Structure 1
Amino acid sequence: MSAPARRGAVTALGLAMLAVTSEITIAAVALPGVGADMGVGPGATAWVMLAYTVPMAALGIPAGRWGDRADPRPVFLLAQLGILLGTALTVLAPTFAVLVVARVVQGVAAALVVAVYMPIVTASVPPERRGRAIGFIIMIMTVGTMAGAPAGGLVADALGWRAVFLVKVPAVLAAVVAGILFLDRRRVRGVPAPARSLLAEAVLLGGAVTAVLLALDGSGPGWRSPVAAVAAVVLFAGWLRLPAAGAVRDLVRRPSFGPTLAALFAVSTTAGLVSFLVPWFVADVLGGTAASGGSALLVFVAAVAVTSPVAGRLTDRFGPLRVTVAGGALSVLALAALLPLGAGTGWAALAGGMALLGVAGGVFNPAVNAAVLAAAPPGTEGATGGIAMTARTVGSAVGPAVAALGWTLTGGGSAGWRLGVAVLLVAAAAGTLAVLRPALRTPVPAT
């Protein structure tokens, strides 16, 4: 593939992933308007988010396995069509039930984008340049996510909540054009119909992941978490009896993949700091406003965006596992710097710690994605990407849940902050140590 075509393919994928990830932050600002317009409470509006994120996470592995049997280009374009269709249904939804169904359509389409993410990178970018490509994609995703919430807020104030869901449409249309022009046109496998075994896997494994996410979500009634936890165990046990589970277990047991997956899961729990601890720390301990908390998070996101392209180049130069270790170690250092903060803390100290954590995320994410891709046997890139997405999603759900539990047990305040940060620090350290040994055994790429 020529250099212009390679850049076009990476841009198409970056725009598509931007639409997928920014949908979460953009949709969040629409929730109050949805509740007021459709007469539902805050607890019910949470399903506007869950109806999107749950299918995306639940179908990660089954969709990835199906994506390995299909040509990436038509699946990519089909996914963009699904996102546009789901968006139209969302904007025109006459009732809350229709709105939730429309969000499920968007979530399924997002799962298809994730399913062909790594196959497209593999087909479009040579191994020695994949770190840079992934770093560029993460930069686009991060900048879009950073701009999504304020842009969505302005649109919601001016045009209402329905218009918020149209903000991503230009990115989707641009991804369609770039995909048509630059993605590999060769038809080798076509787009096969999902086999019955794949549908069974989607029901059992997808149901298990869904149940885990519902068990960790504390916004529902008290009985939901224990019931969901039991359902997750039963469904996962059923999936383990399927032949497809053996292929996934074989991937996870690979020496170059299992530790990387553990690091991805563990470091992803730091989402608990970003999405739970920082807003509550600013409000409860520092006595700040939502704008103060938002500015601290903005520093974090900006640091991720600036660091990711540089980290991609470092990944290509020194190898993904070594840079993954560096990113994990920086995460531990950032959490250690944030641990002693308390009532006398100034905003600058919090912002400095969040900036360091953002640098850590910018280093870690391109490297760990490249490490996952490097560990994938040929023809399993979609399944490998699905496993990684599931690990990241569950880790990102576990982190806030654990942080919230620590906050509740200590009564909040400085004690709640320090317990939550300490738990996340231990998790990040464990994940970093898991990948240290294979990193030291891997030779540095030749220059």
Structure 2
Amino acid sequence: MSPETPRNPGEQAAPPPSGDGPPGPPAGKDPLIAGSGWFAVVATGLAIFMTTFDMTAVAIALPDLNRELSISPHEGEWLILTYAGAMVALGLPAGRYVDASDIRGCFVVGSLGFATASALAGFAVDLPQLIGARLLQGIFGALLAAVAPVIAARSVPPSQRGRALSIIGVLGPLGAVSGPALGGPLVDTWGWQSVFFVVVPFSLAAVVVGLRNLASLVPMRPPAWSLAGESAIVAVGTLSVFAALTRLAERNPSYLLIAGLFAAAAVCFLVWRRTAGYGAARSALAVPMVAACVLSLTLTTVASGTLYYLPPFALEAFRGWSASTIGLLLLFQPLAMGAMGPLAGWLVDTWKPRATAAIGLISMTAGAVLLMLGIENWPAGVLVAALLLAGLGLGLFAGPNQTLLMMSAPPQLRGTSAALSGTGRQIGLALGPALATIIWLSGAHSGTGASGDGIVMAFIVAPVAVAAALGAFLLMTGDAGAPPQRPPGPPEPARPAEAAADAQSAPPGAAPS
């Protein structure tokens, strides 16, 4: 049975559109939706926003947090690395778990767990407690990142699916770029704890909406131990790469240690290749459109990570602006992104998703180049224009990219495909600042030692990453064809013998005969 063949009783096949056109005719309501499909979309979008918001808002809170808990900046970095490492390490296992488990249960457990972990982080009184809470946040955040796009893709008819998935696609990067702008005022007013406490009520609201509007279709089972093993392998490999990149930024790096860390990451990858998770990821990425969307999203978030990380340092060094002034300036990017999201969704449903995404990447490239050229001494209006272009571009790209990804993913690999997207986003958000820091400090070490040395050069990461994303997206999607416009129904339920077995221990990419 091919992935495009309907896999459920009563599921009707919708004819694929010609070329790059809008989705086909609407289909019946998905059995997953017990109430309002749009309420479910809003709840999942809110969950995605929270997971990326807490990734970057914590970076703004680090100076106050380090001072109050008497920890060093190096120790404080682990609060970011722990969260990012857990999100990356558990991303693909979480996607496989979503593919084999109850969608409603995964969303409710993820939202409730994220709320609990955030509250624990806010009440933490020392570094070990805070690191433990951040680890829990990453675990439940990975589950939310895997399940949210699946719910959004199944919540509305095909004629509205572009708008639904645009909400998910935009709110992810919107949370990341809003973290510095919103986190600063929160920390100044209520302290570092507020960046954790602020997400608790929204997480609990998502739980209520999920319980009221989603149906339980299969029994909720605990994850298999094999998933924990895969997660540990990926975690060691990921942290090895992060540690190596951090060492590269030092004035006198130990290249032997760096080589050893990269070697450890390579060994982890070779071991992971023998697991079922690798088979599932390979099956999903074998779909050209899925591979194109994941790669372009990863490169785009490398640029986003650079653009939320560098401007505060550059504007303070070159212009002497206060944190509040910098925060107000940086708000232009998320505001533009949020305003463009609904338009991008409408364009996906009525026009061409691929062309819309490409236009967004061109706009984002122009904004990144303009910001790099003007950050030092051009008028503030130029910086506003640059941030608006970058925000508008990301808003135009994110929704169509998410729609093309979920509509092209085979039904039995929707959770895995969504997890690949979320994992790519987290890698990009961590990799962008790391690459920018390496270039920045390399320039500073070879310059006069002034605070601005090397920082303008570091901005090159953003336009290069977005330009690479544009090239990869156009080249890889040119031969991919239009995504199949299947109804949003679930894949065929597992047979009784398979349900009794450990579903997570085998690659979910193989369709039942």
Fold shared by both chains (TM-score > 0.5): yes
Determine if contact 1:76/1:112 at 8 Å carries over to the other structure. Answer: yes
Alpha carbons 1:341, 1:414 under 8 Å: kept: no
The answer to whether the 8 Å contact 2:356/2:396 transfers is yes
1:112 partner letter:
L
Picking from 13, 16, 19, the partner of 2:50 is 19
Residue in structure 2 matched with residue 40 of structure 1 by the alignment: 71
CA shift for structure 1 position 9: 0.7
In structure 2, the residue matched to 1:187 is 217
Counterpart-to-counterpart distance in 1, 2:452 and 2:120:
45
Pair 1:218–1:272, CA change in 2 (3 A) = farther
- Of structures 1 and 2, the one with the larger relative CO (CA 8 A, separation 6+) is 2
Structure 1, 413-422 or 281-290: larger mean CA deviation: 413-422
- Distance in structure 2 (CA, Å) of the matches to 1:143 and 1:434: 23
Structure 2 CA distance for partners of 1:198 and 1:425, relative to 1, 3 Å = same
- Corresponding residue for residue 434 of structure 1: 472
Contact preservation (8 Å) 1:262, 1:434: yes
Deviations 1:329-371 (A, max 9, x none): 2222223333432644111111111110111111111111112
Verify the 8 A CA contact 1:18 1:144 in the aligned structure 2. Answer: yes
Moved more, 133-142 or 301-310: 133-142
Aligned pair partner of 1:367 in 400, 417, 434: 400
TM-score, normalized by length of structure 2? Answer: 0.78
Residue 243 of structure 2 is matched in structure 1 by 214
CA distance in 2, matches of 1:56, 1:125: 28
User: 1:290 offset after TM fit, Å?
Assistant: 3.1
Query: Quick check: 2:87–2:426 contact (8 Å CA) kept in 1?
Result: no
> What's the counterpart of residue 128 of structure 1?
159
The SS at the match of 2:374 is: coil
Q: Residues 346-357 of structure 1: matches in 2 within 5 Å?
A: 346-357=379-390
Q: Deviations over 1:272-318 (max 9, x none)?
A: 43133322332333443333432332111111111111111112223
Classify the secondary structure of the residue corresponding to 2:331.
helix
Q: How large is the RMSD of aligned CA atoms in angstroms?
A: 3.0
Q: Taking every aligned residue pair, what percent have the same amino acid on both sides?
A: 31
C-alpha contact 1:152 1:167 (8 A) present in aligned 2: no
The correspondence of residues 2-13 of structure 1 with structure 2, limited to 5 A, is 5-13=36-44
Instruction: Answer yes or no: is the 8 Å Cα contact 1:132–1:313 preserved in 2.
Output: yes
Whole-Å separation in 1 of the counterparts to 2:279 and 2:239: 21
Residue deviations 1:396-423 (CA, integer Å, cap 9, x gap): 2222222222223333788845533444
From the CA coordinates, give the structure whose radius of gyration is larger.
Answer: 2
What TM-score do the two structures reach when normalised by structure 1? 0.88
Which aligned pairs between 1:318-337 and structure 2 lie closer than 5 A? 318-337=351-370
Residue pair 1:276, 1:404 contacting (<8 A) in 2 also: no
Residue 208 of structure 2 is aligned to residue 168 of structure 1: no
**Alpha-carbon contact 2:361-2:466 (below 8 Å) kept:** yes
User: In the alignment, residue 458 of structure 2 is paired with which amino acid?
Assistant: G
Contact 1:272/1:402 (CA < 8 Å) preserved in 2? no
Alignment of 1:34-433 (within 5 A): 34-137=65-168, 152-153=183-184, 156-157=187-188, 159-183=190-214, 185-188=215-218, 190-217=219-246, 226-341=259-374, 343-411=376-444, 416=454, 419-433=457-471
- Aligned AA for 1:308? G
Q: Contact 2:119–2:200 (CA<8 Å) still a contact in 1?
A: no
Cα distance in 2 for partners of 1:242, 1:214 equals 24
- How many Å separate the matches in 1 of 2:270 and 2:124? 37
Contact (CA 8 Å) 1:90, 1:99: kept in 2 or not?
yes
CA distance in 2, matches of 1:324, 1:204: 34
Distance 1:235-1:155 versus aligned 2 partners, 3 A rule: same
CA contact (8 A) 2:180 2:308 kept: no
Q: Which whole-Å CA distance do the structure 1 matches of 2:131 and 2:115 have between them?
A: 15
User: Using a 3 Å threshold, how does the CA distance of structure 1 residues 343 and 124 change in structure 2: closer, same or farther?
Assistant: closer
Please give the alpha-carbon distance, in whole angstroms, between the structure 2 residues aligned to 1:374 and 1:217: 37
Question: What is the alpha-carbon distance in structure 1 between the residues aligned to residue 175 and residue 457 of structure 2?
Answer: 32
Cα distance in structure 2, aligned partners of 1:33 and 1:288: 19
Deviates more, 1:404-413 or 1:149-158: 149-158
Instruction: Give the AA of the match of 1:277.
Output: L
Q: Distance in 2 between matches of 1:381 and 1:444?
A: 14
CA distance in 2, matches of 1:414, 1:88: 38
Shift of 1:170: 1.5
| Cα shift at 1:79 | 1.2
SS in 2 for 1:288: coil
Unmatched runs of 5 consecutive residues or more in structure 1? none
5+ residue gaps, structure 2: 1-28, 486-513
Evaluate the alpha carbon distance shift between residue 36 and residue 382 of structure 1 in structure 2; reply closer, same or farther with a 3 A threshold: same
Query: In 1, Cα distance between the equivalents of 2:372 and 2:123?
Result: 46
- Cα 1:210–1:126 change in 2 (3 A) is farther
Query: Which amino acid letter does the alignment assign opposite residue 409 of structure 1?
Result: S
Secondary structure of the structure 1 residue equivalent to 2:289: coil
Whole-Å separation in 2 of the counterparts to 1:22 and 1:125:
26
- Change beyond 3 A, Cα 1:342–1:99: closer
